[in-house]
Structure 1
Amino acid sequence: MTTDIARMPLTEAPLPTPTPTEDTLPRRLSDFATLGEALDYAAEGQRGLNFHDARGTLVRGYRFAQMRDDARDAAYRLIAAGIVPGDRVALIAETSAEFAALFFGTVLAGAWPVPLPLPTSFGGRESYIDQLRVQLASCDPKMLIFPSELAKLAGAAADAAGVEGIDWSLFATRAATEVSLPQAATDDICYLQYSSGSTRFPHGVAITHKALLSNLAAHAHGVRIQESDRCVSWLPWYHDMGLVGCFLSPVANQVSTDYLKTEDFARRPLSWLDLISRNPGTSLSYSPTFGYDICARRISSQTKAADRFDLSRWRVAGNGADMIRPDVMQAFVDAFADAGFEATAFLPSYGLAEATLAVSLMPPGEGIRVELVEETELSGMSHGEDRPQRYRAIVNCGKAVRDMEIQVREEDGTPLPDGAIGKVWCRGPSVMVGYFRDPASTEACLVDGWLDTGDMGYMSDGYIFIVGRAKDMIIINGRNHWPQDIEWAVEQLPGFKAGDIAAFAITTPGGEETPAVLVQCRSSDEAERVRLRDEIRERVRSVTGMNCVVELIPPRTLPRTSSGKLSRAKARNLYLAGEIKPYDLAA
């Protein structure tokens, strides 16, 4: 007997089921001794993580219970591979169930997961391999585990660093023989966090279980998590706001979360707002300023936002990771108010990886509040009579989170009164124990339990206002760029040497943040200067992916400290004041 296959009924694969927003499991706000304990509790409920494709279609609902089981299997495999407590396991931080299980599996094995970045659309193959190689040399892991599609790139980096590299789909085929898992103590290191911008001088921030859970509890209490809350995120898991705020926090606070991959958000940014619109509960979602900016620009002036979106249940629209621009926030409100977005949903914040994540949060419902500060006060320079006064709107970044203290100090450490601009220091249980294997850098920023953030700001009635970047960090579109990396890239060009280049961030007349590169040039030929400027601009773009302002200046122009080191802060001030005069070149 034959069967007519064409007439047989087709059995469709079951659609993925999202994890619920609400649950009968009583919510606990990160009151656990270790991250493993937090996962065990979350696994008792029905909530979990939900992964979506570029169009916002659910691909996988991943309950915390399943993630706990997969993490245990990963821990067994790691232990079988010789991993012992204190070892580092580097993981390419793709937004996926595989990374989530491996991160927690590494923790359960007593080792330290080290999330490392995905490749970006710029810089090319060799640039990415070199970035991974340097970070691998810094954290000295036993293994690098990566997704299949990055096998060639990550594998080459592992080989260059002398580290075992393995595709995580192959790793998952190894036997997961049950063994006794080590018991973590609350003061043990939980993970290492790297800044993605640090390619030449990486700093691995060592965070304990206690520090992590303290910060997650402070964040949960700060945003006043409620039963109807659901998190929506596109932030990468190799940055602290994505890793801590939108991956580890949902586990420790039992919040179901919907994810878009970062690269999918970049291609279809409005899919982020689609996910928020479909959320049956109230939304917690965070972004640097540029994320709001992209969405406001993408929505057509001919399109009525209310026809596509319902943002009326967006309860907390967090802002952080770069300088918050009130004009962009207002543009977002203007674009999406008719879709129900309330300006009071904006929740500005301030934080850094060295404090685990959050240092300050605006109380929910207060929205964006600004103060106007004269620019000469911000730079610390005197105001010349022949220069017009210019004011900058400084955003209120909220109050210190629970158990955190903030002080603004003079350079000599003297605390400053309200309204006086100085260095921002913080102290609390979530401050890092230090930089991994870098006691000199640790000693330079940790003093008597206080962390020198390197940022500039002022206090006003218990609120912190951040007025400047970290001491030398250039942050563009939420990405950190070390000026040394830009300067080093230029130094590789013929005719330049260390000390010829200073890189820093400036604000263009249009209000955009951009890197500026001052380069001491010895050539007197204008055509050669134009060629060099264009070559430098292309070199910096290839390394960082950013267009930049390149100014050629006379030799011996860049300022030095008393010890002979380049002073980028002074170079920036002199340039903005017009006291460093670049050569006048054709565009």
Structure 2
Amino acid sequence: MTELIPTPTADTHPRIFADFETLGEALDYAAAGDRGFNFYDARATLSRVYPFSELCADAKEAARRLIATGIKPGQRVALIADTEPQFCALFFGAVYAGALPVPLPLPTSFGGKESYIEQIGVQLDSCDPAILLYPDEIEEMAAAAGQSRNIPSFGWDKYAENAAPPCEFPQATGGDLAYLQYSSGSTRFPHGVAVTHKALLHNLGSHSHGMLVGESDRCISWLPFYHDMGLVGCFLSMVANQVSTDYLKTADFARRPLSWLDLISRNPGTSCSFSPTFGYEICARRIGSQSNVKERFDLSRWRIAGNGADMIRPDVMQRFTDAFAPAGFDAKAFLPSYGLAEATLAVTIMPPGEGMEVELVEETELSGEKLADGNRPKRFRAIVNCGKPVRDTVIQIREEDGSLLGEKTVGKVWMNGPAVMEGYYGNKEATDACLVDGWLDTGDMGYLSEGYIYIVGRAKDMIIINGKNHWPQDIEWAVEQIPGFKAGDIAAFSITTPGGDETPAVLVQCRTSDEIERLRLRNEIREKVRSITGMNCVIELVPPRTLPRTSSGKLSRAKARNLYLSGDIQPYAIAA
């Protein structure tokens, strides 16, 4: 059996940093070189070498097949996004065909078939695709989701049996939409971010400029292709900037996280790899007190250890450094960043080599409020410097009324730049709520200091756990499905545990006075939320008419959170 050799890190083909009109042109150019993708199994054994030249050929065959099937320019092609060559080819196939690829998540280990069909179904309703394509091994669930919406649905391998006759491809322009990106946790209220080729390629070029990508760099990733950091940062960017990349499946990383570090140790050149905080945490926890760190790993070539997608916890990053310094890991490799799908991906990046910088901020300032009670003891939180804006991007910190705030003053983060989305697909109301005169309301809170941005939390209601977005409305809706509860009875938001972890909390107005019934209800609520979202939440039952309202009568999650944390909302005491 011939030994597989990964695609090379260096290449004689001159590198162009994302300076293309369209994504299809970027792959055409990358295909003339020797670099490409490499897919590994759970034990970090190379299973498939996939040069960009092969990806390009497969993508154009997929495009001909899609066109022969009747797919027209502008139509959506829904793709269940597994970390496989077939997904890569189908994504670019849709691009060549002038259609919009729409990556959707794989089933998880919780919730079961019905929950997955519902989750995928509402996203299919939102994007209205002409076809759904999925890995053949999940046919039962994926096909059921497509059939529930009367969408033609096919497994990858089965669909590949269709004819792909020669044809002309439509000519895309930079102003055309390139793809739709759904928030990974979007279930009941999906928001499909619509991004043009021009916006995408500008942002991808910002990655290479901001991280000083060089000839010796290669990428290693376990991030899912349906998440913006995995899709844009570690897939599309690698094509547009011609970087060889080594992939582990996300599920394989979850089972064997240290395989990630094995890959970083193994291949020559300098490594660039990103992860949310929890990825570093799971590796530090898994290695524990093992004494073979130095013998097993060589992390001295890890040049960019990126961190983003959720709040960065310096205590976790310190534990990772302590655990892997014997293997040559340098904390200066840490590269904090800030981004969101609505800005394509990257908004700010820490300059390489500066490492992680932290400032202590008094907790009451983190929401932009003043200290309400001067007698209460002050509590400080470590806030990580997330770097400087990427090229051509401007950040402003604003008050609620839109007025500008000065240095080191916490407020709402607004940004403007060429990579801002066109809007939420088919959702003008949601688009108008966050896009004003070309400026994007990120929904996050932060402050500026000497040109650097410090992100302190979220102004919007989004809950982000382990890098995954969860809309609080989805959690609240899950509880509403239980008899006896209705809209307005439930408030979901995130809190920080004493250990520094972010976790969802759910306050539920309960009308029964029977303690046994309250215990039963709390357990039922916990299981219902877990079945739909996969999260274990803090569930608190509170008296009727407890949850605060805005002046217009709407539920105020932010105020409910503040009242809960201050002790002004007192949940029922329930024996375990």
TM-score where L is the length of structure 1: 0.97
Tell whether 2:265 aligns with 1:277. Answer: yes
Tell whether 2:238 aligns with 1:245. Answer: no
Tell whether 2:82 aligns with 1:94. Answer: yes
Instruction: Give, in angstroms, the shift of residue 469 of structure 1.
Output: 2.3
Tell whether 2:105 aligns with 1:120. Answer: no
Q: Which residue of 2 aligns with 1:162?
A: 150
Q: Which residue of 1 aligns with 2:435?
A: 446
Tell whether 2:458 aligns with 1:469. Answer: yes
Q: Which residue of 2 aligns with 1:210?
A: 198
Q: Which amino acid aligns with 1:164?
A: P
Which 4+ runs in 1 deviate beyond 2 A?
A: 14-17
Alpha-carbon distance in structure 1 between the residues aligned to 2:329 and 2:537? 34
Q: Which amino acid aligns with 1:507?
A: T
Query: Residues 411 and 423 of structure 1 are in contact (CA less than 8 Å); yes or no, is this contact kept in structure 2?
Result: yes
Tell whether 2:551 aligns with 1:571. Answer: no
Instruction: Give, in angstroms, the shift of residue 53 of structure 1.
Output: 0.5
Alpha-carbon distance in structure 1 between the residues aligned to 2:370 and 2:287? 41
Instruction: Give, in angstroms, the shift of residue 381 of structure 1.
Output: 4.8
Query: Residues 229 and 283 of structure 1 are in contact (CA less than 8 Å); yes or no, is this contact kept in structure 2?
Result: yes
Query: Residues 362 and 397 of structure 1 are in contact (CA less than 8 Å); yes or no, is this contact kept in structure 2?
Result: yes
**Aligned ranges for residues 505-584 of structure 1 at < 5 Å?**
505-584=494-573
Q: Which residue of 2 aligns with 1:71?
A: 59
Aligned residue pair count? 575
Alpha-carbon distance in structure 1 between the residues aligned to 2:459 and 2:263? 33
SS in 1 for 2:77: strand
Instruction: Give, in angstroms, the shift of residue 168 of structure 1.
Output: 1.0
Query: Residues 312 and 340 of structure 1 are in contact (CA less than 8 Å); yes or no, is this contact kept in structure 2?
Result: yes
Q: Which residue of 2 aligns with 1:81?
A: 69
Q: Which amino acid aligns with 1:232?
A: I
Alpha-carbon distance in structure 2 between the residues aligned to 1:303 and 1:565? 56
Tell whether 2:45 aligns with 1:41. Answer: no
Q: Which residue of 1 aligns with 2:184?
A: 196
Stretches of structure 1 that go unaligned for 5 or more consecutive residues are 1-11
Q: Which amino acid aligns with 2:540?
A: E
Query: Residues 175 and 198 of structure 2 are in contact (CA less than 8 Å); yes or no, is this contact kept in structure 1?
Result: yes
Q: Which amino acid aligns with 1:266?
A: A
SS in 1 for 2:139: helix
Q: Percent identity?
A: 72
Instruction: Give, in angstroms, the shift of residue 509 of structure 1.
Output: 1.1
Q: Which residue of 1 aligns with 2:120?
A: 132
SS in 1 for 2:457: coil
Alpha-carbon distance in structure 2 between the residues aligned to 1:300 and 1:559? 44
Deviations 1:119-141 (A, max 9, x none): 11111111111111111111000
Deviations 1:30-75 (A, max 9, x none): 0111001100110010000000000000011100011101100000
Alpha-carbon distance in structure 2 between the residues aligned to 1:133 and 1:491? 19
Alpha-carbon distance in structure 2 between the residues aligned to 1:584 and 1:414? 43
Instruction: Give, in angstroms, the shift of residue 175 of structure 1.
Output: 1.6
Q: Which residue of 1 aligns with 2:364?
A: 376
Q: Which residue of 2 aligns with 1:3?
A: none
SS in 2 for 1:397: coil
The alpha-carbon distance between structure 1 residues 386 and 533, as it changes in their structure 2 partners (threshold 3 A), is farther
Q: Which residue of 1 aligns with 2:223?
A: 235
Q: Which residue of 2 aligns with 1:265?
A: 253
Deviations 1:86-112 (A, max 9, x none): 000000101111000000000000000
Instruction: Give, in angstroms, the shift of residue 362 of structure 1.
Output: 0.3
Question: Which of the residues 141, 156, 165 maps onto 1:177?
Answer: 165
Alpha-carbon distance in structure 1 between the residues aligned to 2:161 and 2:5? 25
Tell whether 2:380 aligns with 1:391. Answer: yes
Tell whether 2:421 aligns with 1:432. Answer: yes
SS in 2 for 1:219: helix
SS in 2 for 1:467: strand
Alpha-carbon distance in structure 2 between the residues aligned to 1:288 and 1:470? 20
Tell whether 2:302 aligns with 1:314. Answer: yes
Q: Which residue of 2 aligns with 1:287?
A: 275
Deviations 1:199-218 (A, max 9, x none): 00001100000000000001
Q: Which residue of 1 aligns with 2:290?
A: 302
TM-score where L is the length of structure 2: 0.99
Query: Residues 412 and 459 of structure 2 are in contact (CA less than 8 Å); yes or no, is this contact kept in structure 1?
Result: no
Question: Which of the residues 460, 467, 490 maps onto 2:479?
Answer: 490
Q: Which amino acid aligns with 1:26?
A: P
Instruction: Give, in angstroms, the shift of residue 393 of structure 1.
Output: 0.3
Query: Residues 218 and 403 of structure 1 are in contact (CA less than 8 Å); yes or no, is this contact kept in structure 2?
Result: no
Deviations 1:288-315 (A, max 9, x none): 0000000000003132311110000000
Alpha-carbon distance in structure 1 between the residues aligned to 2:67 and 2:231? 24
Alpha-carbon distance in structure 2 between the residues aligned to 1:294 and 1:306? 18
Instruction: Give, in angstroms, the shift of residue 470 of structure 1.
Output: 5.0
User: Please, which moves more after superposition, 372-381 or 447-456?
Assistant: 372-381
Alpha-carbon distance in structure 1 between the residues aligned to 2:318 and 2:288? 16
Alpha-carbon distance in structure 1 between the residues aligned to 2:120 and 2:543? 36
Deviations 1:488-518 (A, max 9, x none): 1011111111100000000111111110000
RMSD value over aligned CA atoms? Answer: 0.9
Q: Which amino acid aligns with 2:396?
A: Q
Instruction: Give, in angstroms, the shift of residue 544 of structure 1.
Output: 1.5
Tell whether 2:47 aligns with 1:59. Answer: yes
Instruction: Give, in angstroms, the shift of residue 283 of structure 1.
Output: 0.2
